[in-house]
Homo-oligomer: A and B are copies of this chain.
Amino acid sequence: MSTKITNKEQVEAFLESYDTFLFDCDGVLWSGTHLLPHVVETIELLRSRGKRLIFVTNNSTKSRKAYTGKFAKFGITVSENEIFGSAYSSAVYLSKVLNFPKDKKVLVVGEKGIEEELESVGINYIGGTDPAYNVEATDASLASLARDESIGAVLCGLDLHLNYYKISKALLQIQDPNCHFLATNIDSTFPSAGRLLPGAGTIVGTLITSSGRTPVALGKPSDEMMNCVKEAYHLDPSKTCMVGDRLNTDMKFGEKGGLGTFMVLTGVDKEETILGTNPLVTPKFYADRLGLLYELLQNN
Contact = CB atoms under 8 A, between A and B. Distances in A.
Interface of A: 136-138, 142-143, 145, 159-164, 167-168, 171-172, 175, 188-189, 192-193, 195-199, 201-203, 205-206, 208-210, 212
Contacts of A168: 197-198
Contact of A164 (B161, B171, B175, B195): B161
Given A202-B210, A209-B188, A171 B143 contact: no
Total identical chains:
2
A167 B202 contact: yes
B161 A162 contact: no
7 shortest interchain CB distances as A-B pairs: A137-B160, A205-B209, A198-B210, A202-B210, A202-B206, A202-B209, A160-B164
Nearest to A171: B198
A158 B145 CA distance: 18
B210 A199 contact: yes
What's the dominant secondary structure at chain A's contact region? mixed
A48 B110 CA distance: 56
B193 A143 contact: yes
Contact of A203 (B171, B206, B208): B206
A137 B164 contact: no
A138 B145 CA distance: 28
Contacts of A159: 164
A279 B138 CA distance: 37
Contacts of A175: 196
Given A162-B167, A171-B196, 6 more contacts: A142-B197, A145-B195, A159-B164, A161-B164, A171-B189, A202-B209
Given A172-B195, A202-B206, A161 B136 contact: yes
A171 B163 CA distance: 17
A202 B166 CA distance: 13
B142 A192 contact: yes
A261 to B, nearest CB: 25
A193 B168 CA distance: 13
A212 to B, nearest CB: 7
20 contacts: A136-B160, A137-B161, A138-B160, A142-B197, A159-B164, A162-B167, A163-B163, A164-B198, A171-B198, A175-B196, A188-B210, A188-B212, A189-B210, A198-B209, A199-B210, A201-B209, A202-B206, A202-B209, A202-B210, A206-B206
